[in-house]
Chain A
Amino acid sequence: MRTKAIASAAIMTAVALSLSACGSSADSASGNQAAAAAAIDKCTPAESSIKMTYAPQGTPAVEHAKKVMEQKFPGLKIDAVASQSSNYSDLTKQIVADSAVGKRPDLIMTGLGQLRFWTDTFNPAPIDPATLPEGYQKQFLAAGKAGDQSYLAPFQISTPVMLVNKKLLAEAGITDPASIKDFGQLVEAAKKVTEKTGKPSVNIASDDLPDWFSQALVQSSGEKFVADDGSFGFDTAKGREAMDLISTLAKEKLALNVKMDDGEAQFVAGNLAFQMATTSRIARVVKNAPADLDWTPIDLPGLNGPEGALPAGGNGWVVISEDPCKAAFSQAMITEMLTKDASLLSSGKDYSYIPVNRLATDELLKGDNIAPQMRYAWTYDKPLTAWGGFAGAQTAPIIDTLRTMLQQMGTGKSADDAVPAAAKTINALLGK
């Protein structure tokens, strides 16, 4: 028996070592190397296929573009299945796990804040701006750059926004919501509403987009999210003072502190005065809100009034194909998803993203009876910065750290404690 035990242990060790050996024989980056696109006229559609993974908000435009592509390239197979979650972290997780089991997609949607993850770990193919269709607003390409190179074609763009219940404010004696420009005014207004209603009046959710919301609050206060050397940028007097908004709201019992969806439901029900949101959600609020709900989006306030540009939110397309022809067809697919018609589907009435195609915006604004809130979402034309900016391999733990920071301040912890703690953790993750 002893020999048997030894033999089996030896076999297990051999298996283990051969597994690790077979790993190390591959050259270093090959696991995640994407291919540059081939010239598309050298590729035969009938012999190629592309697999794409995306979040459900892309579905209408994807289906439209798929039809166009199948006409243009007869025989090309496009395997397009939407994931169920619209959360960009979940989407990244799914694509990496798919790749691990050998089902790596060729074309992926990713949140703009996840771009650096892909460029740092998957070496995607660059996007050629010359292939983008007529009307495409090239200024958005800045949100898809890593270094000087474009790797992502922005598809659905949004911006942080504050949704305000005008009726609750009026009852508290505030008639012009747009006059709320700085955090002090926001807190004062919230206090007045809360005094009147006896309920918390502001919700800044930490569940869904903590990195983006933090960045927005920091940048609208005129501070840097990422320092020039790539380290944590807002552990400064101004940065802490800006972030202390969350802590102040919590201490004054003005913060609702619930998930984005829960806050939105409260807002729609008329119970919540201020909900920090993204312009892409405006369409949903318009759809779900009762006709008598009097509400408006306002520009996100800043510490001393809006100072800096907000981070662009939303998503775009990245090509991570390992095959040159699939990469070429993926590029062509991207083009079809950014045309006027596609843009109307991706950023129109169901999803209030800022259309990336100017022709689509023109078309949308021609319509009658446009809700003013929708107009705000479609025509937002202030400058936007890229989302994120920390080195990419640590994207997920960085987002979790920022969520922790927001949640700590949500329980009343001072920004003077929470922000340096987050800075320390994130700089350690980045090796700074």
Chain B
Amino acid sequence: MTTPVVKERPSLEQGVPGEGPAPRKPRAPKPSLTPYLLLLPALVGMLLFIYGPALLSFIGSFFVIPLSKGPWKFAGLDNYRSVLSDPLIQQAAWNTLVYATATIIPSMVLGLLLALLMERLGRGSWLAKTALILPMTANMVAMAVVFKWIFALQGGLANQTLAVVGLAPVNWLGDAETSLPAVILVGLWRATSLCTLLFMAGLTTIPGSIHEATAVEGIRGFAKLRTVTLPMLKPTVVFVAVLSITGAAQVFEIVNVMTKGGPLGSSETIMTATQRVGFEYFRVGEASAMSFTLIAILLAVGIIGRRRSPKEAS
């Protein structure tokens, strides 16, 4: 926000009622039920299927719950105690952190680079754009099946390629050393595509007049990226980061299809562990405690992110 040029841009948070100066003239403040009625269906949906369950998972985390019929037994903090002390779940939390770090940062950097590149290429690049966005539309179960085959011990493309170079086959998905990296590669493939799409979309919101202005002033290359493009993209970056974090925190399909979390829990993630505890060990209360902890962590990350975001502070 250093140049006057930047200030004129439309912002993601533009026109939040009650925040900052209103961008346009306020409507006659005639008290009306209309906005509430318009919001009602969505709010009911959110209360019933997002906030209600979130609250229920909080309540349920203090009970021993049968999967079907039967009484709930109050268990105090037992669920949290056993979840926090379970080495499988500790490992799952650690793996999820590794997965998140190893996918979010590279995918955001790559996504931004590719989006800038596509912008540079201009209209002729629609074919390349399409190719880059394709992974984010694909069915992840289907793609995990394909990647499982690529990493298969026998006949898998990865090992065929190694054989050409004269290297011994690697048991990619069956070895504790390589299972998580293989899963991360697939996650990166997917996440880069999503980031590229969102950054391409974000870049189109930068008005052409700004490009002209910077061109006139002779700002280009890295200088332009640093002083003009990146600051203008900040809302997009925040949005991409939020989606990336929640996406990485709930990675499930890839792991479930490719490795089932194994071997030795080496690719277990929070979501696969929650599924295992809830629907294989039938400890629904413990699974609720895990779900609620995840929700709490993500909300905390979101709130801190919002606080830290300079845009919001202003």
Contact = CB atoms under 8 A, between A and B. Distances in A.
In the A-B complex, list the 3 residue pairs whose CB atoms are closest, starting with the nearest: A31-B69, A31-B70, A24-B71
A233 to B, nearest CB: 22
A257 interface: yes
10 contacts: A12-B51, A23-B69, A31-B68, A97-B279, A258-B171, A394-B281, A400-B276, A403-B262, A407-B262, A408-B264
A26 B281 CA distance: 23
A100 B69 CA distance: 7
B56 interface: yes
Interface in A403-419: 403-404, 407-408, 411
Contacts of A89: 280
Interface of B: 47, 51-52, 55-56, 59-60, 63, 65-72, 88, 153-154, 171, 174, 176, 262-265, 276, 279-282
Nearest to B153: A262
Interface stretch (A13-21, A51-59, A332-340, A379-387): A13-21
Contacts of B279: 93, 96-97
Given A28-B71, A266-B154, A400-B88, 20 more contacts: A12-B55, A13-B55, A23-B66, A23-B70, A23-B72, A28-B70, A30-B70, A31-B69, A32-B69, A96-B68, A104-B68, A206-B263, A207-B262, A262-B154, A262-B174, A265-B154, A396-B280, A400-B276, A403-B262, A404-B265
A207 B262 CA distance: 9
A407 B261 CA distance: 13
Interface residues of A, number: 43
B165 to A, nearest CB: 18
Contacts of A408: 264
Most buried by A among B51, B55, B176, B282: B282
Contacts of A96: 67-68, 279, 282
B47 A12 contact: yes
Interface in A258-302: 258-259, 262, 265-266
A117 to B, nearest CB: 10
Interface in A3-56: 8, 11-13, 15-17, 19-20, 23-26, 28, 30-32
Nearest to B264: A407
A32 B282 CA distance: 14
A406 B201 CA distance: 50
A101 B262 CA distance: 29
Contacts of B60: 20
A74 B262 CA distance: 49
Contacts of A26: 69-71
B257 to A, nearest CB: 13
A24 B153 contact: no
Contacts of A394: 281
A180 to B, nearest CB: 26
B9 to A, nearest CB: 31
Contacts of B67: 96-97, 99-100
A15 B280 CA distance: 27
A135 interface: no
A213 to B, nearest CB: 15
Nearest to B51: A12
Given A20-B72, A404-B264, A404-B265, A259 B174 contact: yes
B71 A23 contact: yes
Contacts of B66: 23, 31
A22 to B, nearest CB: 10
Given A15-B52, A20-B59, A258-B153, A396 B281 contact: yes
B200 to A, nearest CB: 38
Contact of A16 (B56, B154, B176): B56
A16 B54 CA distance: 11
Nearest to B266: A407
A91 B263 CA distance: 21
B169 to A, nearest CB: 10
A129 interface: no
B68 A258 contact: no
Contacts of B276: 400
Contacts of A16: 52, 55-56, 59
A197 B213 CA distance: 71
A75 interface: no
A397 interface: yes
A103 to B, nearest CB: 10
Contacts of A262: 153-154, 174
Contacts of B174: 257-259, 262
Nearest to A27: B71
A112 B91 CA distance: 31
Contacts of B51: 12
B2 to A, nearest CB: 38
Contacts of A257: 171, 174
Contacts of A20: 59-60, 63, 72
A394 B280 CA distance: 10
Nearest to A9: B55
A28 B154 CA distance: 51
A397 B171 contact: no
B62 to A, nearest CB: 10
A262 B152 CA distance: 9
A127 B207 CA distance: 78
Interface string A325-353: 00000000000000000000000000000
Contacts of A8: 47
A121 B171 CA distance: 38
Contacts of A13: 55
B52 A12 contact: yes
Interface in A70-103: 89, 93, 96-97, 99-102
B223 to A, nearest CB: 47
A298 B1 CA distance: 78
A392 B59 CA distance: 28
A173 to B, nearest CB: 26
Interface in A220-269: 257-259, 262, 265-266
Nearest to A265: B154
A397 B68 contact: no
A172 to B, nearest CB: 21
A400 B263 CA distance: 11
A8 B48 CA distance: 10
A415 to B, nearest CB: 16
B70 A100 contact: no
